[in-house]
Amino acid sequence: MRQVIHCKLSKNLLGIFLILLLAFSTTLSAQEGDPAKGKTLFNANCAACHQLDKKMTGPALRNVETRLSNDQGLDKAWLYAWIRNSPGLIKSGDAYANKIYNEYNGTAMTAFPQLSDEDLNNILAYTAEVKEEPVATQTTATADTGSDSAISNELILGALGILFLLLASGLYVVNKTLRRFAEAKNIELAETSKRRPLWKAFVQNQFLVLVTAIFLLLSSAYFVYGYLMQIGIDQGYQPVQPIHFSHKIHAGDNAIDCNYCHASARVSKTSGIPSLNVCMNCHKSIYEYKGETSVEYSKEFYDAEIKKLYAAAGWDDAAQQYTGDSKPVKWIRIHNLPDFVYFNHSQHVSVAGIECQTCHGPVQEMEIASQFSSLTMGWCINCHRTTNVKVEDNAYYTKIHEELSKKYGVDKLTAAQMGGLECGKCHY
């Protein structure tokens, strides 16, 4: 019996101990916070102005809790008060609050009264995480497969070329040595027969000469005409821009609307080359490239291009402010219409509702932008002949469309029937 009681007692003790341990550990974790949850909260609430290791609109936040308690002697309660109501803390005359407020040029931090103690602990746990060092070996191992095959193709071609050269020189050397042998042994080489040469036979046949002359004249006329007709046409023109801008990354991968940057295409004649403030709308936050890379277009390459943008816009990334020392970027215009042609983007984009890609091609796939269409008059006219005027939701066209469709006896008018072929519409 005694033995049994003892056993029970020890079991109970063990249970109580376990419960205590569990309770203690849960309180422990509540104090520590969950870094994973903290990351989600941080990205949703704080990341607009703060990063862990880089000054943005607000200071870098790695180990903010320990740094504050070590350097300033401020505890967690101060942080809570600051995050929930920083303007209140500043007004109360708190010395460090006012110091940091003035250090960041009086940029007020948004108040977050909705964050609970647990949320704040989670966020602080995330900021206390040890910085991950980038693994150097990984980047070299993962090369792009596309560029790989390109390289191997070039290698194979080069090897074949060298092989061919070797064979040719080998044949030449063999031929030469054989001749030398023959001369040394006084063997007479078989001379080529003294038949009438082919070209003499050709010249004596007047009919053949006539036919060949006509053929040559016609074919050269064809090529000369072809060359003359492509003068002034820049289809495929792909200049090297002062800052490498990848439409593939911006319009393709990130699906940014064309009108975001080319904002004046909606409302004016020109589609507009975006001014640098439009670039900086996003690149104030995006200071490095994190997407897929290849050998030619590496992360270092793209990061250097972003640095070029910062230099041109006069943005000091370390201090997070404009220096006022900006340099205009001399972008090279790709699509140039002659001065005697009038073309209006807003008429085509806003009124007709034509996709940008109809004329400019798959820009969202272009790493380097190039001219897709020929931009000749025939190209314009062809499209005007085949495209119907967009009359829906446009009261401006209602009456004229009614009259003209009666005149032509059709339901839908093409741009040409609406007057899209008249000389004076584009040339005046």
Partner 1 sequence: MNYMKSLIKITGLLVVIISLASCKKDTAPNYQFMPNMYLPVGYETYGEAAFKDGIEAQLTVDGSIARGHSLFEYENSTEGYQLAKETLKNPLDSTQINMVKTKVLYDIYCGICHGTKGDGQGNLVTREKILGVPRYDDAGRAINEGSIYHTIYYGKNAMGSYASQLNEKERWEVVSYVLKLKADLEK
Site residues, partner 1 (CB under 8 A): 42-50, 56-57, 106-108, 110-114, 172, 175, 192, 230-234, 236-240, 254-257, 259-260, 263, 267, 269-270, 272-273, 275, 277-278, 280-282, 284-286, 290, 328, 331, 333, 336, 338-340, 370
- Smallest gap from Cβ 219 to partner 1, in A, equals 15
Which of 233, 260, 274 has its CA nearest to residue 376?
A: 233
Q: Would you say 77 or 255 has its CB closer to partner 1?
A: 255
Torsion 305-309-314-317 (CA) sign: negative
Residue the block writes with tokens 């897709």 = 372
Output the six-digit token pair for 186: 């006084």
- Dihedral class, residue 232 (left if φ above 0, else alpha if ψ from -120 to 50, else beta): left
Nearer to partner 1, 12 or 281 (CB): 281
d(CA 34, CA 39): 9
> Which tokens go with 153?
């193709």
Q: Is the dihedral of CA 167, 172, 174, 175 positive or negative?
A: positive
Distance of CA 239 to the CA centre of its chain: 17
DSSP run (H or E) holding 159: helix 145-184
Cβ nearer to partner 1, comparing 288 with 402: 288
Q: How far is the CB of 118 from partner 1 (least distance, A)?
A: 17
User: Least distance to partner 1 from the beta carbon of 289, Å?
Assistant: 10
C-alpha torsion 55→61→63→69, nearest 10: 100
- Whole-number minimum distance, CB 32 to partner 1, in Å? 24
Q: For residues 114 and 140, which CB has a smaller minimum distance to partner 1 in the complex?
A: 114
Q: Would you say 8 or 176 has its CB closer to partner 1?
A: 176
- Nearest approach in angstroms of CB 254 to partner 1 is 6
**Choice between 21 and 267, CB closer to partner 1:** 267
Residue 97: CB minimum distance to partner 1, A:
15
